Chains A and B, each alone.
Chain A
Amino acid sequence: MTQFSVPWKQSPPIEHRGPARGIVALARFVYKVATPIVSRFPGPILIAAIVFSTLAVWAHWELFGWVETIAVSDLNGSANSIWGQSLTVAEIGAYLESKSVFAGGILKYLLWPLQMELFRDLVGLAAIFQLFNLIPVYAIWWERKVAGRIQSRMGPMRVGGWHGWAQSFADGVKLVAKEDLVPAQADGMLFRIAPYLAFVPSLLAFLCFPLGSYWVFRNVDVALIFIVAMVGVEVVGVIMAGWASNNKWSVYGAMREACQMVSYEIPMTTVLLVPIMTAGTLNMVQIGDMQSGGWFTWNAFHNPFTFIAFITYYIASLANCKRAPFDLPESESELVAGFHTEYSGFRWSLFFFAEYAAMFVVSGLAVTLFLGAWHTPLPATWAFEENSLFNVLLNGILFSSPFWFIFKCFIFIYIQLWIRWTLPRIRIDQVLYSCVQVMFPIACIALVGHAVWMVLLDGTMVSTVIRWVLGLMMAAVTFGFLSVAAFGYRNGRRMVGYLAVKQLPGS
């Protein structure tokens, strides 16, 4: 019998040395301990995680606020410096004693760092990073569920129990544990850097993304330009990845991405000028707060041109974050996987995260600039004033800004998913045609038309009427969409039909 010999050199199994050995042992231990627990009680763990993180946010909020009151009102009232602190531990201790707070002896050491800006920033950064991680994780899970529903199947059902809620975490563990392959002929350094260059800009975009009037890490005056720039920088990582992979399909993907980017950035940024002109500022918080007066004050319904701008922006944003029908850089039926053909494991997951984070960012921009930001469809003045428990609860549901912001963003992410699982992909020449010859003229018309409208008609009766008409139209569309969805949910079985073959002897 002929013995097979492998023509390539086989590497020996990896033996970890030094601290890596300890890390591996720790990982194995955690895996052994955690696996039975997680698989046994997935539901309680999910609920506990949600409750705990809510409590953590609330506790931080309260503690920060409390330290503010100590520092400002009760003691000498001097403001915090950036690095230093106005209160010593002893002063805090004295204050706590005067209020006879429980366990003040220990608490004073815990409260002391909270007055430092640096510490607050670190906590804020950690929160943003978690948000940045959780949103893609759940967007991926949700995409799989939505795709399953659209395609008359179930999607993930196993991991974690209830509808596979932990599927993305399991995938993440798998991806991190996979071998990090770098092709032999690839440009090693560029290949390794590229995923971070795609990942970090999306993370940075979250830094000045307001989730509410006060829920913003850095309230930057040029926030909008910063975010658009960060979304645009992502392309560098993609091109670098495609080029460094030393794979022709990857180069195709990279070139397509570059092509698509320069075409769609132009109409996208052009229509972004429309809400800027309306608000007169680049500050996202101010643009958001302009739209606090309920459904009919939202920018999209300001006049017909803002509405056109909103639609144009949404289509361009699909191209911007490489979603179908503009997913040419990674179109799997033509380019295998496009620019990330050669990537595996963790680096691949970075691209994946960047894509889903970008989906959230562009949806967030659409929501902030056009659709009332973090405000409810109800006017903000309707919020309850009295601080009874019931009112606080109702305000929390109806007027909670992060909730509404993320809810609206996910509606737009849902529409992106819906489009992806319905439409075929368009061709590169059609992409360029639709950009240069269709979208860009429309964007220019919207921009000029809006400028003229602002000068001639803003504040007149016509403007108000048009605003109401547009608002009611959009409300009708939304309501129609919801009723169709509800009808489909109730009658899906009947519409799809029952399996015909069920009682044959062989089946």
Chain B
Amino acid sequence: MSFEEICQVLKSQFGDAIEETAVDSCRPFVVVNGDKWGEVATFLRDDKRMGFDLLRCITAIDLLADDKLGCVYDIAALSAVSATNDMSIERELAVRVLTDRNNPQIQSVAKLWAAADWHEREAFDLMGIDFPGHPNLERILCPDDWVGHPLRKDYAHPLEYQGIPGTTEHELKSPRH
């Protein structure tokens, strides 16, 4: 099933919830409305035609110009589990879900794909996106008392953490980046 066919199925199923289909992109993706993402995800995993059982990656992105935050879900559908024949990827899909930058919230899919648990915690930690419905949404890479979300484009690097200097005087005067 090609990307266009998947898009058609999704559009016929959800209509306006599919906001955009970027077919010409180097890696085609669909943009799904954040409000409907929970239903779309359930459909993507459980429907016979879709059957995306493997969540490969969740990437949190910061679109500062559009004043949006977002998540990119890379999912794939594997052929039937087999220990004798080489399995292949039957379908793959990238879904982009955008949310408001000031109150970023995206429905959690940790109940659908257990793999999403840590990926969503990472997105919460580094990009500050809230995932309602996540069983244990805590910081995962940064310490619990860390301030701010480092991967946001407007993140200001702290000068100190618990008395440990974060940067040197020289770097403050002549920033490299």
Interface centre among B163, B168, B169 (most CB of A within 10 A): B163
- In the assembled complex, 8 residue pairs joining A and B whose CB atoms fall closer than 8 Å, in A order, are A1-B165, A1-B168, A1-B169, A2-B160, A2-B163, A2-B165, A4-B163, A5-B163
Residues of A within 8 A of B168 (CB): 1
Task: Report Cα–Cα, A59/B41, bound state, in Å.
Answer: 92
Beyond A1-B169, A5-B163, 6 additional contacts (C-beta under 8 Å) are: A1-B165, A1-B168, A2-B160, A2-B163, A2-B165, A4-B163
Task: Give 1 or 0 for each of A3-34: 1 = CB within 8 Å of chain B CB.
Answer: 01100000000000000000000000000000
Residues of A within 8 A of B163 (CB): 2, 4-5
- CB of B163, distance to nearest CB on chain A (Å): 8
Task: Report Cα–Cα, A4/B164, bound state, in Å.
Answer: 8
User: Count the B residues whose beta carbon is within 8 Å of the partner chain — how many?
Assistant: 5
Residues of A within 8 A of B160 (CB): 2
Task: Report Cα–Cα, A2/B160, bound state, in Å.
Answer: 9
Interface centre among A1, A2, A4 (most CB of B within 10 A): A2
Q: Report the nearest A residue to B170, measured CB to CB.
A: A1
Q: Report the nearest B residue to A1, measured CB to CB.
A: B169
- CB of A238, distance to nearest CB on chain B (Å): 38
- CB of B166, distance to nearest CB on chain A (Å): 10
Residues of B within 8 A of A4 (CB): 163
User: Count the A residues whose beta carbon is within 8 Å of the partner chain — how many?
Assistant: 4
Residues of B within 8 A of A5 (CB): 163
Task: Report Cα–Cα, A112/B164, bound state, in Å.
Answer: 74
- CB of B174, distance to nearest CB on chain A (Å): 15
**A interface, by DSSP: helix, strand, loop or mixed?**
loop
A contacts, CB < 8 Å to B: 1-2, 4-5
CB within 8 Å of A: which B143-177 residues: 160, 163, 165, 168-169
- CB of A140, distance to nearest CB on chain B (Å): 42
Task: Report Cα–Cα, A278/B173, bound state, in Å.
Answer: 89
Task: Report Cα–Cα, A1/B160, bound state, in Å.
Answer: 11
- CB of A6, distance to nearest CB on chain B (Å): 11
- CB of B164, distance to nearest CB on chain A (Å): 8
- CB of A3, distance to nearest CB on chain B (Å): 10
Residues of B within 8 A of A2 (CB): 160, 163, 165
Task: Report Cα–Cα, A5/B168, bound state, in Å.
Answer: 17
CB within 8 Å of A: which B112-155 residues: none
- CB of A344, distance to nearest CB on chain B (Å): 28
Task: Report Cα–Cα, A2/B162, bound state, in Å.
Answer: 12
Q: Report the nearest A residue to B168, measured CB to CB.
A: A1
Task: Report Cα–Cα, A5/B163, bound state, in Å.
Answer: 9
Task: Report Cα–Cα, A2/B168, bound state, in Å.
Answer: 9
Task: Report Cα–Cα, A2/B172, bound state, in Å.
Answer: 13
- CB of B115, distance to nearest CB on chain A (Å): 28
- CB of B81, distance to nearest CB on chain A (Å): 31
Task: Report Cα–Cα, A2/B163, bound state, in Å.
Answer: 8
Residues of B within 8 A of A1 (CB): 165, 168-169
- CB of B3, distance to nearest CB on chain A (Å): 46
Residues of A within 8 A of B169 (CB): 1
Task: Report Cα–Cα, A188/B169, bound state, in Å.
Answer: 46
- CB of B167, distance to nearest CB on chain A (Å): 10
Task: Report Cα–Cα, A5/B160, bound state, in Å.
Answer: 14
Task: Report Cα–Cα, A4/B163, bound state, in Å.
Answer: 8
Task: Report Cα–Cα, A461/B169, bound state, in Å.
Answer: 95
Task: Report Cα–Cα, A5/B169, bound state, in Å.
Answer: 18
Task: Report Cα–Cα, A2/B166, bound state, in Å.
Answer: 10
Task: Report Cα–Cα, A109/B118, bound state, in Å.
Answer: 85
- CB of B172, distance to nearest CB on chain A (Å): 11
- CB of A129, distance to nearest CB on chain B (Å): 52
7 residue pairs, one from A and one from B, having the closest CB atoms = A2-B165, A1-B169, A2-B160, A1-B168, A5-B163, A1-B165, A2-B163
- CB of B105, distance to nearest CB on chain A (Å): 38
Residues of A within 8 A of B165 (CB): 1-2
Task: Report Cα–Cα, A4/B165, bound state, in Å.
Answer: 9
Task: Report Cα–Cα, A2/B169, bound state, in Å.
Answer: 9
Q: Report the nearest B residue to A7, measured CB to CB.
A: B163
Task: Report Cα–Cα, A160/B160, bound state, in Å.
Answer: 51
Task: Report Cα–Cα, A459/B139, bound state, in Å.
Answer: 79
- CB of A93, distance to nearest CB on chain B (Å): 81
Task: Report Cα–Cα, A28/B66, bound state, in Å.
Answer: 74
- CB of B160, distance to nearest CB on chain A (Å): 7
- CB of A459, distance to nearest CB on chain B (Å): 63
- CB of B37, distance to nearest CB on chain A (Å): 44
Task: Report Cα–Cα, A413/B165, bound state, in Å.
Answer: 54
Task: Report Cα–Cα, A122/B165, bound state, in Å.
Answer: 64
Q: Report the nearest A residue to B165, measured CB to CB.
A: A2
Q: Report the nearest B residue to A2, measured CB to CB.
A: B165
CB within 8 Å of A: which B52-98 residues: none
- CB of A2, distance to nearest CB on chain B (Å): 4
Q: Report the nearest B residue to A5, measured CB to CB.
A: B163
Task: Report Cα–Cα, A297/B163, bound state, in Å.
Answer: 76
Q: Report the nearest A residue to B159, measured CB to CB.
A: A2
- CB of B165, distance to nearest CB on chain A (Å): 4
Task: Report Cα–Cα, A117/B72, bound state, in Å.
Answer: 90
Q: Report the nearest A residue to B166, measured CB to CB.
A: A2
Task: Report Cα–Cα, A5/B162, bound state, in Å.
Answer: 12
Q: Report the nearest A residue to B169, measured CB to CB.
A: A1
Task: Report Cα–Cα, A1/B165, bound state, in Å.
Answer: 8
Task: Report Cα–Cα, A48/B169, bound state, in Å.
Answer: 63
Task: Report Cα–Cα, A5/B165, bound state, in Å.
Answer: 12
- CB of B93, distance to nearest CB on chain A (Å): 42
Task: Report Cα–Cα, A180/B163, bound state, in Å.
Answer: 31
Task: Report Cα–Cα, A1/B19, bound state, in Å.
Answer: 52
Task: Report Cα–Cα, A454/B163, bound state, in Å.
Answer: 79
- CB of A1, distance to nearest CB on chain B (Å): 6
Task: Report Cα–Cα, A458/B143, bound state, in Å.
Answer: 75
